[in-house]
Amino acid sequence: MLSEADNRLLTQTGPGTPMGAFVRRFWLPFLLSEELAEPDGPPVRVRLLGEDLIAFRATDGGVGLVDAFCPHRRAPMFFGRNEECGLRCVYHGWKFDSSGTCVDMPSEPPDSLFKTKVGIKAYPVRDAHGVLWAYLGPVGAAGELPHLVWMDQPAEYRFMGRWLQRSNFVQAIEGELDSSHLSSLHQPLVLDPKLPPTGLGKYVREDTAPTWTIREQPYGLTATARRRADGDRAYFRTNQFLLPFGSLIAPDAGRARMMRFWVPRDDETTLVIAINYHEDRAVSEDEAAGYRAGEYGFCVVRPGTDWPVPGPDNDYLMNRDVQRAKTTTGIPGIRNQDLAMVEGMGARVDRSFEHLGTSDTAIIAMRRTLLSGARDLANGTPPVAAAGGDLYRVRSWSAVLTDAEFAERVDELQLSLPA
Amino acid sequence: MLSEADNRLLTQTGPGTPMGAFVRRFWLPFLLSEELAEPDGPPVRVRLLGEDLIAFRATDGGVGLVDAFCPHRRAPMFFGRNEECGLRCVYHGWKFDSSGTCVDMPSEPPDSLFKTKVGIKAYPVRDAHGVLWAYLGPVGAAGELPHLVWMDQPAEYRFMGRWLQRSNFVQAIEGELDSSHLSSLHQPLVLDPKLPPTGLGKYVREDTAPTWTIREQPYGLTATARRRADGDRAYFRTNQFLLPFGSLIAPDAGRARMMRFWVPRDDETTLVIAINYHEDRAVSEDEAAGYRAGEYGFCVVRPGTDWPVPGPDNDYLMNRDVQRAKTTTGIPGIRNQDLAMVEGMGARVDRSFEHLGTSDTAIIAMRRTLLSGARDLANGTPPVAAAGGDLYRVRSWSAVLTDAEFAERVDELQLSLPA
Amino acid sequence: MLSEADNRLLTQTGPGTPMGAFVRRFWLPFLLSEELAEPDGPPVRVRLLGEDLIAFRATDGGVGLVDAFCPHRRAPMFFGRNEECGLRCVYHGWKFDSSGTCVDMPSEPPDSLFKTKVGIKAYPVRDAHGVLWAYLGPVGAAGELPHLVWMDQPAEYRFMGRWLQRSNFVQAIEGELDSSHLSSLHQPLVLDPKLPPTGLGKYVREDTAPTWTIREQPYGLTATARRRADGDRAYFRTNQFLLPFGSLIAPDAGRARMMRFWVPRDDETTLVIAINYHEDRAVSEDEAAGYRAGEYGFCVVRPGTDWPVPGPDNDYLMNRDVQRAKTTTGIPGIRNQDLAMVEGMGARVDRSFEHLGTSDTAIIAMRRTLLSGARDLANGTPPVAAAGGDLYRVRSWSAVLTDAEFAERVDELQLSLPA
């Protein structure tokens, strides 16, 4: 449970908000590189932290991210012409380069100095590892990009997607870190003896009340859910919360690892960047086809939009007969099941009505980390994690261990192996 | 005319409002029993007095009406699994019975006492006479269900429907009690000599300015409109206003009686429960077919919704050629004509712009009854009518009488005859 | 750039606002006469300066413009019956003539005086020169209709249209007076040697930074954009701003003159009345067909609506391939290009974010004229231009002249020649 004031502090990220200032200290992924591939190609609308922006790939391959409205008379830059290393507003021909500098102002006399005095708001962009990253924070305070495990590997070891979600970003992260709901939301009604003994299988079904170990980390948190396994051994699932909005979920045996960025688009919608990856092999054709069809943490979007097919207007494709006979929800697909819960709370849930239990330990810890980060910055202490780089070279994991083995190996298991 | 303050007092029924507190003292019909017939069948969304709720028929046939959001983390209960005498939130498996008690909390350790400390908001429900009734008022203050005439009769003597309307509930009641508009809104342009001499016929057309007799009643009001008839006799139509939102309209000769509940769904929409009934015979097949087709006070709804087919997007099916040549409005159907007027004012009309005349006497009286009821309760005096029961065993009527006959028989005519 | 306070003063025209009071001193065109042609025909919804109204053509051919809601109980007058020189509310039969007088009140007793005490809000309407004009200002303060050049000519010399736009009226006027954008927004990418040497042709393309001469006029403003032409001659384009919201754009050689009224419908939408006319000949069949197809300043509307086909939901029919190869915008049609800019700023642009240059001189002057007009009226001085009449008998023009010729002929060129 949070007070209404804390709930606002946690969830509001627009210009001038403390959480917005906190998140702006980090690099924010906002598009896949392939979505803005063509130099001088069509500009793309982007909304980040409540700001409307336009992204364009310039002639030299660099990417600009500028105000959606021209500084002259606020004409829409979306209709701009992307040409010769700049985006030209079509209304009066003012042209800006990726840094926001006005490089042509044909509507003023050639000797006018006005051009040197007017720029368009522009944010630095990095194009790295298949993702476009923006920095919306104060000049000079940007750190390195996070150095994530999948960045060290060949591109074919990963599969990426992007879509939008009708919820605040914190709600989205809560849904991801919450190992507890695996025992209910994603379960079939009848035990299938053919399922593997880990992951969503036996242990998760049999021990529905995991206990938690939370460990603060320089980059965020580890949250380990422990469930009874066989004899004196337990099933440990360790998820990572990567500041300010990343998650790494413990993979099932043999399946891909899931990295997700839950980027605040505005206070009621989230931009999701999804990366499934292996550490030791390429994503197979079968796996990729499954991801494209909405399996294993991906979403199929409505044609011409970035919104998922399952939504409030179709009750997330729920089928009550399936719910009655086969699965807890009757909703097809794990991500759709998550979406129905997280969006179904309302876009920004009022946490003053909650009743949290021991199962919510990871969620409580994550909120505390965000809240104290925002408060610390407001008090003058910027976040350590914003330095980025190797801090982020971690993994999630699951394993069946004795408690002694867990205590001994917990630090090692989360580190990425050298390639 | 009402001041803006009185208009708010009259029309706002959300939690914490005086009128909301008043209405919450009564049993509120909200679904037909047949709409939630199947034990362990799909839950249904309900909105009452601005509160979002979920209704479910439990295994034992009882009906639960609970908060639309789980008390744990506000996941949507609509997706809940209706199983073994309870509704289970699919997110973490918390299960609640119809009384709101948490009967299973698998995400917490088996020995946790947390389960005993958390319930879901739940309201008492009665399933009686083909209707589901909810009580949203303070514990211990509920009266009996109203004992209405049609409840004493076989089920085949009545026909029921339910739909939604885009207006505040007071506007809806005003439209129903207003006998005056019969002389205009529902009239053909040319007198049809074949029409019967009562009801919408001769007297209503010839005397367009009825005079009123209003009588306060323990259950609400009677409003009698008097129109000149033949010689020294007059045509009397007596409608009933049944607290807090019911109406009984005087029937035409040989036709069904019309009971309507105008339940506040929120401040801008109304849930209509409609019952046409005879006192002495079954509803015929022809009559039922007509009601299903939208005749005599019923509405046809858009497939997959509870909203009427006629609406603001199709100008209530108005045809200007019909208006020019045949009927006052060119809108087909009496209920659709009413709907065009009541919704067409805007969802919550600003009564400070009105100019009421003698024709509005019934409406003025009904508003006073509601306003004084809400004020009395705020001052500590709960409504007498909330006791329910035989108070409500009344009927509406119309008859051609001398004034002396009216004075003599007015009390007797509104009482239901013993079966 | 304007302060937020000045921006509100400039753009808000609802009841009680200073700019609303200013605009209400003028006659407002709101429908084409042919759109309300039939006596006793269907009433039409009109929205002007934030007020919802109903227009009807009475039996005698006069036009009424009354409140959209009956003064009795606020029933919607749109469904009213237009009959025998009045509009009858269908709810209780109250009937009002074009002056707003209640001429029948059947719901009250025949000897009631109530009828004499209640009228419906009604505004004077003139039907002149193919246009319906309303006066919403104080009684007794109305001037004459503006006497515009096209009013002296045969009806076949002009072509009229009407549609709605999703922007404040000031934004619409700004778009029209801004000669500067011709050099960018409406340009092909490659010079076509076959194009005529004036208008959108050579001079406009070659001199993209026109200089301005603004002259205050009793009826508003003239704004002359000067561009280099050949030798010591320059290309002068003079547009007219006609208070409070009219524009006259300099025509291209041989093509029609364009008069536009940008009437505030409410603060976020504009009602456009468009008149293309010649001074010396009829509009040809080819020209009319082009206007109907959306050419030369006209808009094609979506069937059953008054909204243009190009809109925010289809990116104004933009084609990026066309933008890449052929035209600045890739948007077909000059008016659609304008619409994309003016609506694309948002319905009411925040002018505190602007950066105006010398190219915006005409816009700045027009805003000053409106602002000082509203302020003067608030201080007790009504606008001179509201007198209407021959003040408005002016034209726009373009010509290639020496500066000396311009100085000598500027007053003469804008006067309409005697017929």
Binned at pLDDT 50, 70 and 90, residue A191 comes out as: low
| Predicted pLDDT of residue A368 | 98
Percent of chain C with pLDDT over 90: 91
| Predicted pLDDT of residue A197 | 46
C359 min Cα distance to partner chain A (Å)? 6
Show residues of chain C in contact with A110, CB under 8 Å.
Answer: 209
- Residue contact C73–B360, C-beta within 8 A: yes
- Residues of A109-146 as b/e, b for ≥16 C-beta within 10 angstroms? beeeebbeebbbbbbbbbeebbbbbbbbbeeeebbebb
Higher pLDDT, A17 or A295: A17
The whole-number average pLDDT for the span A262-267 is 98
A254 min Cα distance to partner chain B (Å)? 26
Largest CA distance in chain C: 84
- Residue contact B185–C108, C-beta within 8 A: no
A296 min Cα distance to partner chain B (Å)? 18
Q: Which of A185, A211, A315 sits opposite B91 (nearest CB)?
A: A185
SS3 C395: coil
| Residue C198 clears pLDDT 50, i.e. is over it | no
| Residue C193 clears pLDDT 70, i.e. is over it | no
The whole-number average pLDDT for the span B202-230 is 94
| Residue A200 clears pLDDT 60, i.e. is over it | no
- Best mutation target, C72, C83, C91, to test chain B (most B CBs within 10 A): C91
A353 min Cα distance to partner chain C (Å)? 37
Higher pLDDT, C189 or A127: A127
The whole-number average pLDDT for the span A61-76 is 98
| Residue B198 clears pLDDT 70, i.e. is over it | no
User: In terms of Cα–Cα distance, which of C392, C368, C408 is closest to C236?
Assistant: C408
| C-alpha span between C89 and C84 (Å, rounded) | 13
* Beta bridge partners of residue C188, listed in sequence order: C327
Which tens digit of pLDDT belongs to each residue from C131-188? 999 999 999 999 999 999 999 999 999 999 999 999 999 999 999 999 899 999 999 8
The whole-number average pLDDT for the span C208-232 is 95
| Predicted pLDDT of residue A415 | 78
Cα→Cα distances C384→C26, C144, C368, C387, C393, Å: 10, 12, 16, 6, 15
Binned at pLDDT 50, 70 and 90, residue B195 comes out as: low
The whole-number average pLDDT for the span B386-392 is 96
| Predicted pLDDT of residue A194 | 62
C302, C308 contact by CB (below 8 A): yes
Percent of chain A with pLDDT over 90: 91
| Residue C417 clears pLDDT 60, i.e. is over it | no
Write the CB contacts of B339 (distance below 8 Å, at least 6 apart in sequence). Answer: B165, B299, B308, B310, B311, B316
Task: Give the position of tokens 């429908």.
Answer: C31
Binned at pLDDT 50, 70 and 90, residue B201 comes out as: confident
Task: Give the position of tokens 């021991």.
Answer: A358
| Predicted pLDDT of residue B181 | 94
| Predicted pLDDT of residue A199 | 47
Which tens digit of pLDDT belongs to each residue from C316-332? 999 999 999 999 999 99
Closest-CA residue of chain B to C93: B184
| Predicted pLDDT of residue A419 | 40
Helix ranges restricted to H, A239-394: 285-292, 320-325, 334-344, 361-378
Count of residues in chain B? 419
| C-alpha span between A178 and A414 (Å, rounded) | 18
| Predicted pLDDT of residue C1 | 86
Burial class (CB in 10 A: 0-12, 13-18, 19+), C17: buried
- Residue contact C108–B358, C-beta within 8 A: yes
Binned at pLDDT 50, 70 and 90, residue C194 comes out as: low
User: In terms of Cα–Cα distance, which of C348, C346, C347, C336 is closest to C311?
Assistant: C336
| Residue C197 clears pLDDT 70, i.e. is over it | no
- Residue contact B76–A209, C-beta within 8 A: no
E strand map for C220-268: 220-228, 233-242, 246-249, 257-266
| C-alpha span between A70 and A64 (Å, rounded) | 14
| Residue A298 clears pLDDT 50, i.e. is over it | yes
The whole-number average pLDDT for the span B31-38 is 98
| Residue C200 clears pLDDT 60, i.e. is over it | no
Please give the angle made by the CA atoms of C274, C45 and C116, to the nearest 5 degrees: 125
Binned at pLDDT 50, 70 and 90, residue A222 comes out as: very high
Task: Give the position of tokens 């949507």.
Answer: B76
Binned at pLDDT 50, 70 and 90, residue B196 comes out as: low
B65, B96 contact by CB (below 8 A): no
Binned at pLDDT 50, 70 and 90, residue C196 comes out as: low
C69, C77 contact by CB (below 8 A): yes
Q: What is the mean pLDDT of chain B?
A: 95
Joined together, the tokens standing for residue A359 give 């199962």
DSSP assigned state of C364? H
* Beta bridge partners of residue C233, listed in sequence order: C402
Rg (CA), chain A: 23
Q: Which of C315, C316, C359 sits opposite A92 (nearest CB)?
A: C359
Which tens digit of pLDDT belongs to each residue from B354-371? 999 999 999 999 999 999
- Residue contact A90–C208, C-beta within 8 A: no
| Predicted pLDDT of residue B1 | 86
| Predicted pLDDT of residue B194 | 62
Interface chains of chain C (3 or more CB pairs under 8 Å): A, B
SS3 A53: strand
Q: What is the mean pLDDT of chain C?
A: 95
| Predicted pLDDT of residue B151 | 96
The whole-number average pLDDT for the span C227-239 is 94
- Residues of B352-375 as b/e, b for ≥16 C-beta within 10 angstroms? ebbbbbbbbbbbbbbbebbbebbe
Least confident of A28-32, A89-93, A154-158, B228-232: B228-232
The whole-number average pLDDT for the span C84-107 is 98
Write the CB contacts of B47 (distance below 8 Å, at least 6 apart in sequence). Answer: B53, B265, B266, B269, B271
- The total of other beta-carbon atoms located within 10 Å of residue A87's CB is 27
Q: In chain B, which residues touch A (CB < 8 A)?
A: 40-42, 69, 71-76, 78-79, 81, 90-93, 105-110, 112, 114, 117-118
| Residue A416 clears pLDDT 50, i.e. is over it | yes
The whole-number average pLDDT for the span C361-379 is 98
Q: Count A/B contacts: CB-CB distance under 8 Å.
A: 96
SS (H, E, C) chain B: CCCHHHHHHHHCCCCCCHHHHHHCCCEEEEEEHHHHCCCCCCCEEEEECCEEEEEEECCCCCEEEEECECCCCCCEHHHCEECCCCEECCCCCCEECCCCEEEECCCCCCCCCHHHHCECCECCEEEECCEEEEECCCCCCCCCCECCHHHHCCHHHEEEEEEEECCCHHHHHHHHHCHHHHHCCCCECCCCCCCCCCCCCHHHHHCCCCEEEEEEECCEEEEEEEEECCCCEEEEEEEEEECCCEEEECCCCCCCEEEEEEEEEECCEEEEEEEEECCCCCCCHHHHHHHHCCCCCCCCECCCCCCECCCHHHHHHCCHHHHHHCECCCCCCHHHHHHHHHHHCCCCCCHHHCCCCHHHHHHHHHHHHHHHHHHHHHCCCCCHHHHCEHHHCECCEEEEEEHHHHHHHHHHHCECCCC
| Predicted pLDDT of residue B197 | 46
The whole-number average pLDDT for the span A38-57 is 98
B399 min Cα distance to partner chain A (Å)? 50
Which tens digit of pLDDT belongs to each residue from B337-354? 999 999 999 999 999 999
Binned at pLDDT 50, 70 and 90, residue A418 comes out as: very low
| Residue C195 clears pLDDT 70, i.e. is over it | no
| Predicted pLDDT of residue B415 | 78
B124, B135 contact by CB (below 8 A): yes
| Predicted pLDDT of residue B387 | 97
Binned at pLDDT 50, 70 and 90, residue A179 comes out as: confident
| Predicted pLDDT of residue C418 | 43
The whole-number average pLDDT for the span B125-131 is 98
- State the complex-level ipTM: 0.95
Closest-CA residue of chain C to B175: C91
| C-alpha span between A122 and A134 (Å, rounded) | 10
